[in-house]
Structure 1
Amino acid sequence: MTSSTAAKPLRYAYFPGCVAQGACRELYQSTHALTRALGIELVELKKAACCGSGTFKEDSQLLEDAVNARNIALAEELNLPLLTHCSTCQGVIGHVDERLKHAKESDAAYFDQVNGLLKQEGCSPYRGTSEVKHLLWALVGDFGLAELQQRVTRRLSGLRCAAFYGCYLLRAQDHLAYDDPYNPQSMENVFRAVGAEPVLYRGRTQCCGWPLSSYATETSFKMAGGHILEAIAAGADCFVTPCPLCHLNLDSRQPEVQQVIGETLGLPVLHLPQLVALALGIGPKELGLERHVVSTRPVLEKLGIRG
């Protein structure tokens, strides 16, 4: 297992994103509970803007780059890496960071154009000095799985977890330092560290269908339903996802998905920090587990936890 590389307490500029402050408030809640328990300091970027979830570039690549250059510049002002807990935010902001770092070396005119827009708004310039990092990568690469395992007070023995990575976390960036984009293992390694059993199934690295849901709803729900059925067939007790948009399609819309595919599902869907925090002894209410559409009670009962 990966050992902790941190010589001092971990500190991040925290980009919570939109969904975790609205429809998936339990993700915001559980991220704070987890990081507090691990002694990780989050400096929330209160002035940050929505990353655009990939839609800004449909109108203008410059728009997406300028908005997210500003987001990264806010972290650079603090001399901290930017931490996300949403795969979509990670994919969009991380890809902008890669593109602008490349432009800094090879396309000075474009780089200056982006910073010119930031200057017009009275913002600090983007320098390309911070790293954009998902909470999963922070746990695996910075905190370390060996250290995480030592912090476990409630091993999740017997719980069979199916990771749902989705697409943005793995394939939006050109370089993925912490995992293999086609055969990832980081979430499965986290499961093992907290005592749970990973369940492998075909759809764990595929799209959940959320991007289609506004204009091809039935197709979106069939995609989600297919993934859920595969995980159930593989013996999963729950899905665990690092993306709140995946969570919305797999959990919040699971009753509608059932109607479209004509199957009864009922598979609980946990956010990554909820799962890890349970293993640290944090209670279900503190993690917002009662907010889920699909009841998480079967997970808690299997672990012998009273909700």
Structure 2
Amino acid sequence: MRYFYYPGCSMSSSALEYDVSTKAVLGELGAEVVEVEDWTCCGASTAETVSFLLSLVLPARNLALAERMDGDGDFLVGCSACYTNHCKVGEHVKRDPRLLDKINAALSIEHLTYTGKVRVRHLLDVLANDFGPEAIAVRVKRSLSALSVAPYYGCQIVRPYGLCDDSEYPTTMDEVLAATGAEVFPYAMKVKCCGGVLMTTKKDVALRLVGGLLQAAKGADCIVTVCPLCQMNLEAYQGDVSRYMGEDLHIPVLYLPQLLGLAFDLPREKLKLERNMASPRPVLDKLA
């Protein structure tokens, strides 16, 4: 299987461990991952505050670059915000076909054309549906049966465009985790918002939201995420959250491909666990 890979800004910098472990796990599964050449920022959550058209042109540019690459393949994204931004281009063009001419007029300065022929996929979708629990299970070299893992989907991969899964109680990540032998922790907060960028604008609100997520995971050995911003909020502020909530809420937080990499017994340099801000040591000790 071949994928045109868009790492995005976070996965090529602050969330490099997500990027490296993603490519390592997909390689182990036999996928061909080709990075989109000359990709740029998709606009994150801020472009639309400047211009609605800009918020479509920025991700459309990346899709147009993928469309002109050799061969067939889906457009693979690991960041949930980037996934949403790239999905929305096609969704808005379907609702208002006149947008396509406006987008391509902007892209014409680089001699690019967006047609919509490349399908946007999230990493979790690819792992769960292109490979599936069976293909993952046969590659497990170290069972994770000692671990209880809370799957955190966040809010942007299940809505508004979403995976082929239930938007309120998805199970695709649960099934992937179960294939490693891990116990899937019954996590009722799996699609509740982490607050996103509110941590920099309305910190008390974000601390309360993250506090609820960490409280609900008490009893699990770790939380697993599939989004750099969710990962940042859940692990970087555990000290602040613990003080705000009045209880110790420290817990390891890993990216899904990092955990899969442990199950596949991949080299540690392919997982970059040393970059995680919430120490993964309790998880590693349980697997020792």
For the aligned pair, the TM-score class normalised by the smaller chain equals: over 0.9
Q: How much has 1:177 moved relative to structure 2?
A: 4.8
State which drifts further: 283-292 or 214-223: 283-292
User: Any idea what the Cα deviations from partners look like across 1:58-95, whole Å, max 9, x if unmatched?
Assistant: 22211111111111111111242110111111112112
Q: How much has 1:258 moved relative to structure 2?
A: 2.0
Amino acid at match of 2:277: V
CA distance in 2, matches of 1:283, 1:303: 15
Q: How much has 1:167 moved relative to structure 2?
A: 0.7
1:36 to 11, 27, 38: 27
Tell me the matched-pair count. Answer: 286
- Which residue is 2:118 aligned to? 130
Would you say the 8 A contact 2:136–2:179 is kept in 1? yes
Q: How much has 1:182 moved relative to structure 2?
A: 1.4
CA distance in 2, matches of 1:285, 1:110: 44
Amino acid at match of 1:130: V
Q: How much has 1:255 moved relative to structure 2?
A: 2.0
CA distance in 2, matches of 1:109, 1:95: 15
CA distance in 2, matches of 1:285, 1:218: 36
| Within-5 A mapping of 1:210-221 | 210-221=196-207
Amino acid at match of 2:77: T
Would you say the 8 A contact 1:95–1:172 is kept in 2? no
- Which residue is 2:46 aligned to? 55
- Which residue is 1:3 aligned to? none
1:90 to 67, 72, 83: 83
Unaligned ranges ≥5, structure 1: 1-9
CA distance in 2, matches of 1:285, 1:255: 27
Amino acid at match of 1:86: C
Amino acid at match of 1:186: T
User: Any idea what the Cα deviations from partners look like across 1:231-268, whole Å, max 9, x if unmatched?
Assistant: 11xx2110000001000000122222223223212200
3-state DSSP of counterpart to 2:157: helix
1:168 to 153, 156, 161: 156
CA distance in 1, matches of 2:89, 2:158: 15
- Which residue is 2:6 aligned to? 15
Would you say the 8 A contact 1:51–1:68 is kept in 2? yes
CA distance in 2, matches of 1:29, 1:255: 27
3-state DSSP of counterpart to 2:127: helix
CA distance in 2, matches of 1:253, 1:97: 35
- Which residue is 1:158 aligned to? 146
3-state DSSP of counterpart to 1:124: coil
CA distance in 2, matches of 1:225, 1:299: 21
Provide closer, same or farther for how the CA distance between residues 202 and 144 of structure 1 changes in structure 2, counting only shifts above 3 A. closer
Would you say the 8 A contact 1:155–1:196 is kept in 2? yes
User: Any idea what the Cα deviations from partners look like across 1:169-201, whole Å, max 9, x if unmatched?
Assistant: 11131xx45211112000100011111111122
Give the TM-score normalised by structure 1: 0.89
CA distance in 2, matches of 1:252, 1:13: 30
Amino acid at match of 1:35: L
The alignment status of 1:297 with 2:281, answered yes or no, reads yes
Would you say the 8 A contact 1:92–1:172 is kept in 2? no
1:68 to 27, 34, 59: 59
1:180 to 159, 166, 171: 166
Unaligned ranges ≥5, structure 2: none
Provide closer, same or farther for how the CA distance between residues 203 and 123 of structure 1 changes in structure 2, counting only shifts above 3 A. farther
Please identify runs of 4+ aligned residues in structure 1 that moved more than 4 A.
none
3-state DSSP of counterpart to 1:209: coil
- Which residue is 2:105 aligned to? 116
3-state DSSP of counterpart to 1:167: coil
CA distance in 2, matches of 1:111, 1:26: 36
> RMSD of the alignment, in Å?
1.4
Amino acid at match of 1:109: R
State which drifts further: 254-263 or 191-200: 254-263
CA distance in 2, matches of 1:187, 1:149: 14
CA distance in 2, matches of 1:260, 1:18: 30
Would you say the 8 A contact 1:97–1:132 is kept in 2? no
Identity of aligned residues (%): 40
Give the TM-score normalised by structure 2: 0.95
CA distance in 2, matches of 1:131, 1:36: 21
1:271 to 255, 259, 262: 255
CA distance in 1, matches of 2:164, 2:263: 23
2:37 to 38, 41, 46: 46
